[in-house]
Amino acid sequence: MTAYRFGRSLKPFRRPWLWAGLWCVGVAATVVVSLMPVPDLGRLPSGGDKLEHFVTYAVLAAGAVQLYPRWRSLLSVGIGLVIMGIGLEYAQGALTTYRVMDRADAFANTLGVIAGLGLQLTPWRDLLLRFDRR
């Protein structure tokens, strides 16, 4: 019988707890920031918040590409991130009085997930693994 190893679905990192933990912190921070009141930043450029949504979810998905080697795992994470993005938009409208639900934000989140998962098709997909092995 083999001993259970944390992160069996992760790439063979020396420090899987660190990298998986940092990614989870990023997901948690996204949830918190999505539901907290927005500070008044003045007038943003048109569509500027959509770019923020796109980049945030692209970074989360790209982080998953760095962690998981298999498409099955990445597809699961991608679906989870899309559901999270849609759910947070719904929660903003239903649970807060200071945020509003915006379908365009959910669409930008989804496009960001797709773009981030596209990193799997590039040589940069193992950048974190190479860094971790140094």
One digit per residue, pLDDT tens: the chain, 134 residues? 444 455 578 999 999 999 999 999 999 999 999 999 877 655 666 667 899 999 999 999 999 999 999 999 999 999 999 999 999 999 999 998 888 899 999 999 999 999 999 999 999 999 999 999 87
pTM attached to this predicted model: 0.88
Q: Which two tokens stand for residue 25?
A: 């912190």
62: Cβ contacts below 8 Å, ≥ 6 apart: 116, 117, 119
Interatomic CA distance for residues 77 and 59, integer angstroms: 13
Query: In this structure, is residue 10 part of a structural domain?
Result: no
The CA R_g of the chain, rounded to the nearest whole Å, is: 17
17 in a structural domain: no
Residue 44 within a domain: no
Asked if residue 113 is part of any domain, the answer here is yes
60 token code pair:
């989360």
Count of the separate structural domains present in the chain:
1
In which domain, by residue range, is 86 found?
A: 49-132
